[in-house]
Amino acid sequence: MRPPFFARLLSRRRRTLLLGSILLLLILCTGVFSGRLPLISAYLLKPLSLFVRQLLDVLGEFELNVSRNVSDVQIILWTKESALHEYIFSEWHNTALRSSGFNSSHPTKIFFHGFSDFPRTLWTKAFRDHYLSNRPTNVFSVDWSLLAKSPWYTTAAKNANAVGEHVAGFIRFLISEGEAYENIHLLGASLGAHAAGYTGFYTEGRIGRITGLDPSGPLFHSSWRMYGLTIPVDNPPFHSVPCGSTSDFASGLCCKEAFTQSVIFGEHVDRGLARGTYYFKTGKKYPYALAIIDSMGCEMP
């Protein structure tokens, strides 16, 4: 039996809205993020924000069959004594932990990949290898690829919460086996940054350190252009020289701060010292970092 006319019409309207919204969103995003629509983004910021919210609500009704089952999450451990060793946790018990190569006296890093990504890519392996080559470390990678599959971001964003709660349970297991909260460093990239944040929430803020690498914007508050705040919410938000504004930094008005208050950011940032908004310059090629004093054109005081 054919569905009622109103139901067919509603379905037709939803399809039209979906296709039109995706096309318009692609055009707007291309302009906004390439810097070609400064006036549009200035005058239509609020309407665009409402548009994106409505679009995400519509997309939620068209989600494909993406897993929402945390049993599909795998936790991988990499350690290295004389050779690289990989262990995948299928069960959480002390026998498995002893077989895994985990050592509670070593620093523990837990990495969360992002949307439409995987735990074993060139860049995640580079991340792993840098840590393991520096000192003995427990490097975990949370494989939630089945819950973060493309193309539907909305389901993956919802799953980030469940993944965070699931990994928090795993961390409590590690704590029961002798690990310490302050020894644990969570690192999340893109949507994985939010999964790491949820893990921190479900462990009641006890985790020693959480690092968000380019956190995703849509459905979360830190994407100020479309969906959230216009102020930084990190401590510190990936910068190096304290300065009042981007224009002041570009004009070389923060040379005094560059000589007296600059900090090393990243893995070895002084978390007791770094507070506020910092700025830095990068080059076009790896390793990208430029000497702050030289790149700012500052002269010795």
Domain-embedded: residue 268: yes
Domain-embedded: residue 220: no
| Candidate from 138-142, 191-195, 222-226, 297-301 with smallest mean pLDDT | 222-226
Domain boundary among 176, 196, 213: 213
Nearest residue to 153 (alpha-carbon basis) of 105, 48, 255, 223: 223
**Is residue 170 located within the same domain as residue 103?**
yes
- In whole angstroms, give the CA distance from residue 79 to residue 269: 24
pLDDT given for residue 1 in this prediction: 47
Computed over every residue of the chain, the mean pLDDT equals: 75
Domain-embedded: residue 96: yes
Tokens of 225: 């252009």
The secondary element (H helix, E strand) that includes residue 85 is strand 84-89
Nearest residue to 62 (alpha-carbon basis) of 147, 153, 191: 153
**Is residue 245 located within the same domain as residue 110?**
no
**Is residue 35 located within the same domain as residue 152?**
no
User: Would you say 192 and 167 are in contact if contact means Cβ atoms under 8 Å apart?
Assistant: no
Nearest residue to 114 (alpha-carbon basis) of 57, 197, 51: 197
**Is residue 189 located within the same domain as residue 263?**
no
Query: For residues 130 and 6, which has the higher predicted lDDT (pLDDT)?
Result: 130
pLDDT given for residue 262 in this prediction: 63
- In whole angstroms, give the CA distance from residue 168 to residue 164: 6
Percent residues over pLDDT 70 in the chain: 55
Domain-embedded: residue 266: yes
Q: Which residue has the tokens 């893109």?
A: 190
Domain-embedded: residue 218: no
- In whole angstroms, give the CA distance from residue 242 to residue 258: 7
Domain-embedded: residue 301: no
- In whole angstroms, give the CA distance from residue 210 to residue 187: 6
pLDDT given for residue 133 in this prediction: 93
The secondary element (H helix, E strand) that includes residue 172 is helix 153-176
Going along the chain, which residue ranges are E strands?
74-80, 84-89, 108-112, 138-143, 184-189, 209-213, 241-242, 278-279
Looking at the predicted structure, is the pLDDT value of residue 183 above 50? Answer: yes
pTM summary value: 0.67
Range of the domain at 268: 241-296
Number of domains in the chain: 3
Nearest residue to 82 (alpha-carbon basis) of 124, 120, 136, 128: 136
Q: How confident is the model at residue 220 (pLDDT cuts 50, 70, 90)?
A: low
**Is residue 19 located within the same domain as residue 127?**
no
Q: Read off the amino acid at residue 199.
A: T
Nearest-5° angle of CA 236, CA 239, CA 242? 85
Looking at the predicted structure, is the pLDDT value of residue 210 above 60? Answer: yes
